[in-house]
Amino acid sequence: MSVFIDACRRKEAEYTPVWFMRQAGRYLPSYRSLKGSRNVLEIAKDPGLASEAVVGAVRELGVDAGIIFADIMLPLEGMGVKFRIEEDVGPVVSGPIRTPDDVSQLKDFDSRSDAVEVYEGIDETVRKLDGTPLIGFSGAPFTLAGYVVEGAPSRELERTKMMMYDDPDSWKALMGKLTSMVESYLDRQIKHGVDAVQLFDSWVGCLSPADYDRYVLPYTRKIIESIGGRVPTIHFCANSGPLIERFQSTKADVLSVDWRVAVDDVWRRCADRVGVQGNLDPVVAAVGGETMRRQTGDILQQAQIHRGHVFSLGHGVLKVTSPSNLKQLVNIVHEKTRSRK
């Protein structure tokens, strides 16, 4: 097995594994030349290019895992959602989903015919990675609901919350449909060979703990249950401080947190019964130098007495980041944690 999977399973790992969200991204010259003028969806739907992007980043940075190249919105095409991905903005949905009618017209996702390019990309990536673990992923229902209800990236997700509070029947129907999609999308990814899955509930930190319990938790729990421990599950949320205990109760193996909450605080609040992924601020990785070295040292020191640390950034790599900073970061983490043994 690999150090990455060992860490996800909270086994003794030889050293602390590292990978970065958006490690195959525009900060990387080799990715920019692969990308050319293509948009993200065109690459994601081309198994040759998608696998090349994943493997290129893994080899260049020396990280311990790759993540499939896809967009969080991609499987929604199969449900009939119309959208485009605008560079530097994000997904823009034409015809947002807001009324009971909008919700009832969403099609059921069919994993035999929808997002098939993603599964083909997984086949090809697994071959090329030659043993390095591959992480599959999906957006979580709340975060996907946020995109389709708002229609565009939004700071406070006001319309989404309004549907949640004001039209609970539509909310349940929408969350139910999205949950079914995520279950079958991840199931198919696992069957094609991903070694772990990460569920991105990136924006759910905008809810109160009580609302999270009422409107989101049952759906997330159902998804994790459907995976049934076949591969480790990683739950990601930006800004997750107040919800840590709730995320643990989803039974995810690993909680991926950002820099707003200290990693040792996560272990403490979860009585060490969870893996923790994170949590350097991506701005610090972009700044590099002494600040990066010091803050990385702090995180590793907090993690030292706990099992199940996957080092990562608290969010995706910033476009302005120099790849040499990330290579240095990988080396720092590997060297410092190897020498402890």
Site for a second copy in 35-74 (CB under 8 A): none
Do 244 and 255 meet the contact criterion of CB atoms below 8 Å apart? yes
Contacts of residue 268, defined as CB under 8 A and 6 or more positions apart, other chains included, come to none
Minimum separation from the CB atom of position 261 to a second copy (A): 5
Nearest to a second copy of 190, 287 (CB atom)? 287
Minimum separation from the CB atom of position 54 to a second copy (A): 25
Nearest to a second copy of 151, 193 (CB atom)? 151
Amino acid in position 306: H
> Which stretches of the chain are DSSP H helices?
3-8, 29-35, 40-44, 47-61, 100-104, 116-129, 141-150, 158-166, 168-191, 209-215, 217-227, 244-249, 263-269, 282-287, 289-303, 323-338
Site for a second copy in 231-270 (CB under 8 A): 239, 241-242, 259-262, 265
The span from the CA of 297 to the CA of 5, in Å, is 23
341 binds a second copy (CB under 8 A): no
How many residues of this chain bind a second copy (CB under 8 A)? 33
The span from the CA of 222 to the CA of 213, in Å, is 13
Query: Any idea which residue has 């060992």 for tokens?
Result: 6
Q: Which two tokens stand for residue 91?
A: 């997904």
Minimum separation from the CB atom of position 265 to a second copy (A): 8
162 binds a second copy (CB under 8 A): yes
Amino acid in position 274: V
329 binds a second copy (CB under 8 A): no
Minimum separation from the CB atom of position 214 to a second copy (A): 10
Nearest to a second copy of 68, 243 (CB atom)? 243
Which residues of this protein are in contact with a second copy, per CB under 8 A? 155-156, 158, 161-162, 165-166, 205-211, 239, 241-242, 259-262, 265, 281, 283-284, 286-287, 289, 291, 295, 298, 315, 318
